[in-house]
Amino acid sequence: MSKIIISNVRIIDPENNTDKTGNIFIKDGVFSEPFDDNDVFIDGTGLCAAPGLVDLHVHLRDPGQTYKEDIITGCKSAAAGGVTSLLAMPNTIPAVDTPETVEYILDKAKNADAHVYVVGAITHDLKSKVPTDIDALRNAGISALSDDGRPVENTAFMAAAMKKAYELGIPVTAHCEDPYLAGGKVNEGRISEMLGVKGMPAAAEDTGTAREIALAAAYGLPIHICHVSTATSADMIRDAKKRGVKVTAETAPHYIMLTEKELEKRDADYRMNPPLRTEKDRLAMIEALCDGTIDAIATDHAPHSPDEKSDFVNAPNGSIGMETSFSASYTVLVKSGRMTLSQLINKMSCTPAKILHINAGSLSIGKPADLMLFDPTETWTVDPDKFHGKSKNSPFKGLTLTSKVKLTVCGGKIVFNEI
């Protein structure tokens, strides 16, 4: 394994309260004490180094829909965005509801450019009818539980999963949605009326969020709320934290940069679930990130083919995001002065690693050498044709963003390099 020296780089390591210029040494796959000889020397002048990003919400489409993405291409996309660890959601075909599917994903991921952590399904085929064998899934190697893509409609199953996950030391991540209120294509309101398209009310997300918080409060168990998009859900999470409820939450870059107005283009690349919301909701997501209500930024990376996305009304929900997540978040939060660079890295690396209970999110000596180098001053225009994954359905296409990932190291190996 290569010995790497990165010199004269700005080192940003929130875990160790570090923001200084210095050198980084990598040996045998971990961050090392200084040494003289090297296989790779990188001049980091003008660049920043930070722990590799940890993305808590990724759809790799493998097994079952590998024409959209697969484990290898998805991890190439991750590496290009500085993501070195990702949590793969269970709504594959088949769903991740048996040990065999878990083992398939982990085996294929051994050759990937990012660390892949697998979410096991709470119910078989994500249908809320029959609980999975969680012990067997954990023995096969899952790192979290969720029926993401769908809420767990049976509240008793959700409560049981939270209890079992706590015993096993893994998180439960919740797609918060009331299926009886959901089913729309875009946010319910002025834009949905103008488009003549069925809307999805904020209440669909808010009632789901309220249920999961209530379960966490009643049983004293942790819950992680996925892709928060509404001001009301943020308010409920904020209140729950003040009451000592063990709740953590994530939002996505598209919810802090974009609003439902994008749907006026009638382009399905701007359709996702939860949908893009109002300007009030967008500002509420930024405020919730800045005041600590929302703990993490995750992408909900959801690849689809161009053919699937060609029909505005009937296209599946979802957008890709790993190659733009850091730059979009930097542009909205750091460039604007709302957040320091260290605080952003904390939201995208250190805290997600803690939520997932993995050994990541730090540049400490002896820690796995997962790192990204980026230029905080570079501006670039998003061109999906230059992305490294199979799908191009980016809601950031054509936008000019600030900060650019230049190099990614995963497990001591350079997996992306545009220096």
Location of structure tokens 């679930």: 273
Location of structure tokens 């706590």: 166
Q: What is the DSSP string of 166-222?
A: HHHT--BEE----TTT---SEETTHHHHHHT--EE-HHHHHHHHHHHHHHHHHHT--
Contacts of 399 (CB under 8 A, 6+ apart): 257, 328, 381, 382
Location of structure tokens 């003008």: 46
Q: For the range 159-164, what are the long-range contacts, defined as Cβ-Cβ under 8 Å and sequence gap of 24 or more?
A: 159/215, 159/219, 160/131, 161/122, 161/131, 161/134, 162/215, 162/216, 162/219, 162/221, 162/222, 162/223, 163/219, 163/221, 164/134, 164/135
267 is catalytic: no
Q: What is the DSSP string of 277-310?
A: --HHHHHHHHHHHHTTSS-EE---B----TTGGG
Q: Do residues 12 and 341 lie in contact, with contact meaning Cβ atoms separated by under 8 Å?
A: yes
C-alpha distances in Å from residue 27, one per residue of 106, 290, 298: 25, 36, 29
Q: Do residues 286 and 304 lie in contact, with contact meaning Cβ atoms separated by under 8 Å?
A: no
* Cα four-point dihedral sign 303, 306, 307, 311: positive
Q: Do residues 112 and 322 lie in contact, with contact meaning Cβ atoms separated by under 8 Å?
A: no
Query: What is the maximal distance between C-alpha atoms in the chain?
Result: 66
Nearest alpha-carbon partner for 265 in 397, 405, 72: 397
Q: Do residues 186 and 200 lie in contact, with contact meaning Cβ atoms separated by under 8 Å?
A: yes
Strand bridging mode 247-251 / 296-297:
parallel
Q: Which of 13, 62, 295, 300 is labelled catalytic?
A: 300
Residues recognised as catalytic: 300
